[in-house]
C-alpha cells in the first residue's frame, strides 16, 4: 500500500465515486475512503477527489447546492493548505461554484448531452495531478459525458487564466492541434480543464477514471492518479 490516502466525496446524486475508488484503491493500492457529504473531518486524507454525477439533482445550477454541503467547508480548508483537490465533471462544476476555481460551466453550445471520447492536449505537466505525464508527450484520449460543460469566464478572468498558465487541458484533434472543430461543447479557448493559481486544485470535464483500465479501452487517464504516488509515497 502506498502512504498516500485518497478521499472521494459522495453527494446525493454522485455517480462516479466508485469508479474513482476503483482506480485509487483497486488499481493503485492506495487507501481510499468514501466521504459522505455530511462529514466535516477529513484531516486524515492527503488527496481529495470530487467525482462526477448530478449532485442534488443539479437543482438551480450544476454544483450550486453542493457548495453548501458541510464537507465543502473542509474541502476548502484542505485546498487552502495547498493540498491536492481534483474535481471531475460535476466535481469541476462544484469547484467553480464554490470559488476554488474561476469561471463557470454552462450549457453545451449545441444543447446535446455529449458522451464520447475526446483528444486532449496537456498544457501543464508540472502539477501534482499531471506530473505522471511529465515524460510523456502527445495527446491523451479520455471520455467526456456532460450536458453543461462549456467553459466560460469573462474576458478579464480568461485573460488572467491564460496569463497565469492555469489551463491544464484543451480539446484538440487526434494529432494534438487545438482547432474549433475539435471543441465539442463551445468551451472558450477549447478549455477542458484548469487549475487554481497555486496549482493544487484542478478541475476537468473529461473523466480520467473512465480511462484507467485497459478493459475500458484506454489507460490514458491513469497517470492522473498514478503520477501523484511518485511524490508522496
Partner 1 sequence: MTQTYQAQVYVTLRPSVLDPAGTAVQSGLTQLGFTGVDRLRIGKYIELTIEADDEASASQQIDAMCDRLLANTTIENYRFDLHVVNPNTSEAVSA
Computed over its alpha carbons, how large is the radius of gyration of the chain? 16
Q: Is residue 36 near partner 1 by the rule CB under 8 A? A: no
Task: Output the nine-digit C-alpha cell for 120.
Answer: 486532449
The distance of closest approach from Cβ of residue 120 to partner 1 in the complex, given in angstroms and rounded to an integer, is: 23
Per-residue mark of binding to partner 1, 38-77 (x: CB under 8 A): ----------------------xx--x---x---------
CA distance 220 to 211: 6
* The binder of partner 1 chosen from 107, 141, 176, 219 (CB under 8 A): 107
* The binder of partner 1 chosen from 41, 81, 111, 215 (CB under 8 A): 111
Determine whether 37 is an active site residue.
no
> Is-contact 77 84, C-beta < 8 A?
no
The distance of closest approach from Cβ of residue 180 to partner 1 in the complex, given in angstroms and rounded to an integer, is: 14
The residues that bridge with 2 in the sheet, in sequence order, are 30
According to DSSP H, which parts of 64-109 are helical?
A: 70-80, 90-97
For 11-26, b where at least 16 C-beta lie within 10 A, e where not — what string? Answer: bebbebbebbbebbbe
Q: Is residue 134 near partner 1 by the rule CB under 8 A? A: no
- Which residue, 121, 140, 117, 165, is CA-closest to 223? 140
Q: Under rule CB under 8 A, which residues in 178-197 are in contact with partner 1?
A: 186
Q: Among residues 87 and 132, whose Cβ is nearest to partner 1?
A: 87
The distance of closest approach from Cβ of residue 54 to partner 1 in the complex, given in angstroms and rounded to an integer, is: 17
Q: Among residues 36 and 59, whose Cβ is nearest to partner 1?
A: 59
Tell me how many degrees the CA angle 149-100-171 measures, rounded to the nearest 5.
30
Using CB under 8 A, list all residues that contact partner 1: 60-61, 64, 68, 96-97, 102-104, 106-111, 152-155, 157, 186
Give the catalytic positions in this structure.
Answer: 89, 207, 209
Amino acid at each position: 500500500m502506498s502512504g498516500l490516502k485518497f478521499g472521494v466525496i459522495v453527494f446525493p446524486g454522485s455517480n462516479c465515486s466508485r469508479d474513482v475508488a476503483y482506480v485509487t484503491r483497486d488499481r493503485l493500492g492506495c487507501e481510499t475512503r468514501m466521504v459522505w457529504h455530511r462529514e466535516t473531518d477529513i484531516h486524515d486524507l492527503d488527496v481529495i477527489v470530487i467525482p462526477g454525477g448530478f449532485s442534488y439533482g443539479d437543482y438551480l445550477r450544476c454544483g450550486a447546492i453542493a457548495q453548501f454541503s458541510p464537507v465543502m467547508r473542509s474541502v476548502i480548508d484542505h485546498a487552502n493548505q495547498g493540498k491536492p483537490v481534483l474535481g471531475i465533471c460535476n466535481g469541476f462544476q462544484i469547484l467553480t461554484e464554490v470559488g476554488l476555481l474561476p469561471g463557470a460551466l454552462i450549457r453545451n453550445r449545441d444543447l446535446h448531452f455529449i458522451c464520447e471520447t475526446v483528444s486532449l492536449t496537456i498544457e501543464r505537466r508540472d502539477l501534482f495531478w499531471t506530473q505522471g505525464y511529465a515524460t510523456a508527450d502527445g495527446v491523451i484520449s479520455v471520455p467526456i459525458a456532460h450536458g453543461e460543460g462549456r467553459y466560460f469566464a469573462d474576458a478579464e478572468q480568461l485573460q488572467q487564466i491564460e496569463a497565469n498558465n492555469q489551463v491544464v487541458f484543451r480539446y484538440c484533434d487526434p494529432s494534438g492541434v487545438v482547432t474549433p472543430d475539435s471543441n465539442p461543447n463551445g468551451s472558450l479557448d477549447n478549455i477542458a480543464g484548469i487549475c487554481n493559481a497555486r496549482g493544487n486544485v484542478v478541475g476537468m470535464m473529461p473523466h480520467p477514471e473512465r480511462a484507467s483500465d485497459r478493459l475500458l479501452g484506454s489507460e490514458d487517464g491513469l497517470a492522473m492518479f498514478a503520477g501523484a504516488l511518485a511524490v508522496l509515497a
